Amino acid sequence: MPRFSLSAVGADRPGIVAGVSGALVDLGCNLEDSTMTILQGYFAILLVVSAGSSVGVGDLEAALAPVASRFDLVLTVRLLGDAQLPESGGLADAVPWTIAVHGADRTGIVHGVTSALAAEGGNVVDLSTHLVGSSGAPVYVMTLRVTLPAEPDPAAAAERIRRAAEALGVHCTVHPDESDTL
């Protein structure tokens, strides 16, 4: 069963999700993982859909064309291959951590923190940012869920990432994601 990535972005209006999902239902597609949210007044959809074996990119684009036109959406559809996780990255054994960053907005906060993360062999699982505050004093708030290699010392790696963030002039805290299975 082929799987496709689908992204759509347009000025936020009521009915976008209903319209996009309706076109997908009519084509017999199944919405798998999705992220949909408002970014600075634009509604952004990113999802993975599975479809019948006869469905191709052109079919999806044609089915979505009316809703894309109606809501003035920038739409992209791509056929996905099988996801292949890097064998050597130790991602399966990695441990989850949460990183919180906030401070005066400046260029390079995301790049600085994620570069420090990559240098530790860490991986971004989930990330969101919010630009808030006033136009004269903009504040950047970033929260990440990441994984860090289980060996040799994820706490030390997390501390190095925290220091790299602080070197950018923003406040940063890191803590392991702990959960109890009940």
Partner 1 sequence: MPVRPVLVLPHPVLVTPAVAVGVVDEAARSLAVDLVDTMRASPACVGLAAPQIGVGRRAFAVDVTGHRKARSCHGAFVLFDPEVLERSQPELAREGCMSVPDLTGDVQRDGALVVAGLDPEGRRVALEVDAFEARAVQHELDHLDGLLFLDRVPGPHSVFPRKVYR
144 part of the interface to partner 1, by CB under 8 A: yes
- Select 20 or 109, whichever has its Cβ closest to partner 1: 109
98 part of the interface to partner 1, by CB under 8 A: yes
Q: How far apart are CA 182 and CA 179, in angstroms?
A: 9
* From 2-10, 55-63, 76-84, 125-133, span contacting partner 1 (CB under 8 A): 125-133
145 part of the interface to partner 1, by CB under 8 A: yes
The residue behind tokens 């790696």 is 157
Q: How far apart are CA 162 and CA 116, in angstroms?
A: 9
Helix (H, G, I), strand (E, B) or coil at 6: strand
DSSP H/E element including 71: helix 57-71
173 part of the interface to partner 1, by CB under 8 A: yes
1 part of the interface to partner 1, by CB under 8 A: no
- Say how many residues touch partner 1, by CB under 8 A: 23
Q: How far apart are CA 116 and CA 164, in angstroms?
A: 6
Quote the least distance from Cβ 93 to partner 1, whole Å: 20
**98 bridge partner residues:** 145, 175
- Of 180, 141, 142, 176, the residue nearest 156 (C-alpha): 176
161 part of the interface to partner 1, by CB under 8 A: no
Binding site for partner 1 (CB under 8 A): 38, 41, 98, 100, 102-104, 126-128, 130, 132-133, 137, 139, 141, 143-145, 170-171, 173, 177
